[in-house]
Structure 1
Amino acid sequence: MRVVVTGASGNIGSATLRELTAEGRHDVVAVARRRPELPAGAEEAGSVTWRPADVGTDDLDPVLEGADAVVHLAWKFQPTHQPQETWHTNAVGTRRLLAAVRRQRVPAVVCSSSVAAYSPADHDDPVDEGWATDGSSAAAYCREKAYNERVLDAFEASTPDTRVVRIRPAFVFQRSAASEQRRIFGGALLRPWMLERRLIPALPVPRGLRLQAVHAEDVARGFVAAVERDVSGAFNLAADDLLRREELGGIVGAPTVEVPPRLVSGALELGWLAHLLPVPGSLADALLAVPVMASDRARTELGWQPRHTAADAVEAFLTGAARSAGSGMPPLHP
């Protein structure tokens, strides 16, 4: 199959490229705003063709021509202080891509959504894909994910000849994306050495936090299964274990301190308003409000089973961030 992947150089995108091209399974057109630096002849020898393009501005029809499937992963998390910029890529870019999919009559499109697209839950009972998707907080990330769910609803209703899949993963980690995620969420103040576990005296944990995570390799296998199988609709992806205060303390190897959620979100908001921190307090609100997801449908219809635990995924982030891990992909540079 000829598969076009937007956002191919990012966290999920890089893992999806590896999975799609394993054993020469598919020919891939990798789309990203910044082309990675490749050794001479590397592209010609492989099954990946890189096409520099911005989904928010560039003509996407030539990129999608002849595609059997599109995996849409292009996304901007930052700059959170310039919401018009993230909206242009995340919302406008998705609409533009889907319009090109319709014009080019691509048979299948698989879009990355998120647990953050779900409406808040005040319980820990796992929810399936039928839970409302109005966003888990006022954070721009959540609003844009929820908006794209509505865009996909409209596209699915008006384009019956295209198979539409939306993947809703939990928080996604891998070692090679750790430095990027440290920059996104911690900014310049969070230095790699601060994440050395032997230097962490205690771990503050907001009261009521329960965290689902999933390794990027497992998410990539879910995306590829959605490309290869005749399925449609939404699929939750999360590892089996649920991380609470005790489990997080065990991963870090430090005692934990329970802190009031409003103190955490308030401190983040003040730091964000002062341009000292890169994420607003509303993102902490989202973290505490997202529902616990059930991944039964992915197991049944995609044949998906996580090979890594949530603890493994968080461990990959912590060890990678502390050691400035990264890759040659531009967003993932250490």
Structure 2
Amino acid sequence: MRIAITGATGNVGTALLRRLATEPDIEVIGIARRCPRPDAGAPYDRVEWHAADLGDPACLQPLADRLAGVDAVVHLAWQIQPSHQRAQLRRTNLNGSRHVLNAMLAADVSKLVHASSVGTYAPGPKDQRIDESWPVTGVGRSGYSVDKAAVEAMLDGAERDYPVLRVTRLRKGLVLQRDAGAEITRYFLGRFVPVSLLRSGRLPVVPRHRRLRVQVVHADDVADAYLRALRSDLTGAFNIAAEPVLDGPLVAAEWGGWAAPLPLTLLRMLTRAAWRSRLVPADEGWFEVSTAVPLMDCSRAERELGWRPRRDARDALRDLLSGIATGAGTDSPPMRPKGRPTGHRAA
């Protein structure tokens, strides 16, 4: 089986490459804006790399040429920074997704496994679980969510227009792993957040509110879900998350902190102010998503894909916090460890 992966150098892409390296019958083409250096180690060293700016219309024909003869495409490429440049993000995320789809059609590739998200769902309950039939109209105050929903709508139209397409969508919770520690710090926390406090293994204060309940999943378990989707003929959407649901009281109890009850209005104001003053790189839309999206029922993935996470949500968060505290990363440009310069940029 020959697989092409867009965004193969990122958080999920790195975990998927690790997983696919154990499958002797799978060959991988990696497509990224910034490819790893030729001397990068595992899991990047067994991949045929091609550089592409997916948001550029000029990528379409070269991309179609690269996809000729592949059995499936895993579309992971998604840009979340710089968050103050909305047009640039839409260029990559919306136009890029359209270009990948059109290149697939031009290359006669019919199978697509798309990286969707819990963020594609409309606001919903935090005290019960929803299945994949919940509306996928996104959360209006989050650019990330709006764009994820727009790409799913695009895929709906493509499936209607091209019945040969077989699209599988993995709607994941937050994807965590130790190797993403430095990347997540750069993308979400910024240089002013005192991540060194995490070296003690404690989180002194955690906000608590009934709407602040989120689902996460370890990147290795997500990679297993992608492999199962690739080897299956199943299509449609699958919710992917681990138990338990993380909230203020659970996290505080686990990491020896205090769950501080705070009103959403105050938290929203603080988040907005921190982003607008550029103290943190993550925009206020991420806060809106975390408080608005529903909790997912993942039983379809278990029932039909045979997928169950091996690591629970607490373990996934513990792994990430360790990576944040130490500035962990890998040999790919977006996943580089703390203190390492951007380095090689593929032409």
TM-score by length of 2: 0.91
Measure, in 2, the Cα distance between the counterparts of 1:149 and 1:200.
36
Counterpart in the other structure of 1:83: 86
Q: Out of 270, 273, 277, which is 2:276 matched to? A: 273
Question: What is the CA–CA distance in structure 2 between the aligned matches of 1:264 and 1:50, rounded to whole Å?
Answer: 42
CA distance 1:199–1:124, shift in 2 (3 Å): closer
Moved more, 120-129 or 200-209: 200-209
- Report the identity percentage: 39
1:211-257 CA-to-partner distances (Å, cap 9, x unmatched) read 21100001111111111111100000011211222211133221221
CA-CA distance at 1:55 after TM superposition: 1.2
The whole-number CA distance in structure 2 between the counterparts of 1:216 and 1:121 is: 25
Instruction: Find the counterpart in structure 1 of residue 234 from structure 2.
Output: 231
Preserved contact between residue 83 and residue 282 of structure 2 (Cα < 8 Å): yes
Counterpart of 2:29 in structure 1: which amino acid?
Answer: V
**DSSP 3-state at the match of 1:332:** coil
**Contact residue 212 and residue 292 of structure 1 kept, 8 A:** yes
How many equivalent pairs are there? Answer: 332
Gaps of 5+ in 1: none
Offset at 1:261? Answer: 1.3
Matched, 1:290 2:296: no
Structure 2 residue aligned with 1:202: 205
Aligned mates of 2:125, 2:240 — CA distance in 1:
20
Q: Does 1:135 align with 2:134?
A: no
Letter in 2 for 1:258: P
* Contact preservation (8 Å) 1:267, 1:281: no
More divergent stretch after superposition (24-33 vs 198-207): 198-207
Post-superposition shift, 1:295? Answer: 0.6
Q: CA deviation at 1:201?
A: 3.1
Q: Distance in 1 between matches of 2:141 and 2:81?
A: 16
1:211 aligns with 2:214: yes
| Per-residue Cα deviation, 1:37-76 (whole angstroms, up to 9, x for no partner) | 2328x79x96421111121112311221111000000010
Cα-to-partner distance string for 1:99-149 (whole Å, 9 max, x where unaligned): 111111102000001001000013421100000011124111011101001
Structure 2 Cα separation of the partners of residues 275 and 269 of structure 1: 10
Residue-by-residue CA offset, 1:171-227 (whole Å, 9 max, x unaligned): 110000111011111112124313334564322334531121100001111111111
Alpha carbons of structure 1 residues 191 and 50: separation in structure 2 relative to 1, 3 Å: farther
- Structure 1 pair 256–86 and aligned structure 2 pair: CA distance change class (3 A): same
Alpha-carbon RMSD across the aligned residues, in angstroms, is 1.8
Match of 1:53 in 2: 52
- 1:37 matched to which residue of 2? 37
Distance (whole Å) between structure 2 residues aligned to residue 128 and residue 122 of structure 1: 12
Counterpart amino acid of residue 268 in structure 2: S
Equivalent in the alignment of 1:28: 28
Give the secondary structure class of the aligned counterpart of 2:129: coil
* Separation of aligned partners in 1, 2:256 and 2:158: 47
Which residue identity does 1:5 align to in structure 2?
I
Distance in 2 (CA, whole Å) between partners of 1:205 and 1:199 is 16
User: Alignment partner for residue 191 of structure 2, among 188, 203, 211?
Assistant: 188
1:68-100 deviation line (CA, Å, top 9, x unaligned): 000000010111100001100001100111011
- C-alpha distance in 1 between matches for 2:313 and 2:192: 26
- Whole-Å separation in 2 of the counterparts to 1:198 and 1:47: 35
Higher helix share: 1
Q: Is 215-224 or 133-142 further displaced after alignment?
A: 133-142
Contact between 1:6 and 1:31, CA under 8 Å: does it hold in 2?
Answer: yes
* Secondary structure, aligned partner of 1:188: coil
Q: 1:208 to 1:197 in 2, by over 3 A?
A: farther
Which of 313, 316, 321 is the equivalent residue of 1:318?
Answer: 321
Q: Per the alignment, do residues 26 and 47 of structure 1 end up closer, same or farther by CA in structure 2, a change over 3 Å counting?
A: farther
Q: Distance in 2 between matches of 1:199 and 1:6?
A: 36
8 Å CA contact retained: 1:137, 1:283:
no
- Contact 2:4/2:67, CA 8 A, preserved across alignment: yes
Farther off after superposition, 13-22 or 304-313: 13-22
C-alpha distance after superposition, 1:272-297 (max 9, x if no partner): 12222212223212101110001111
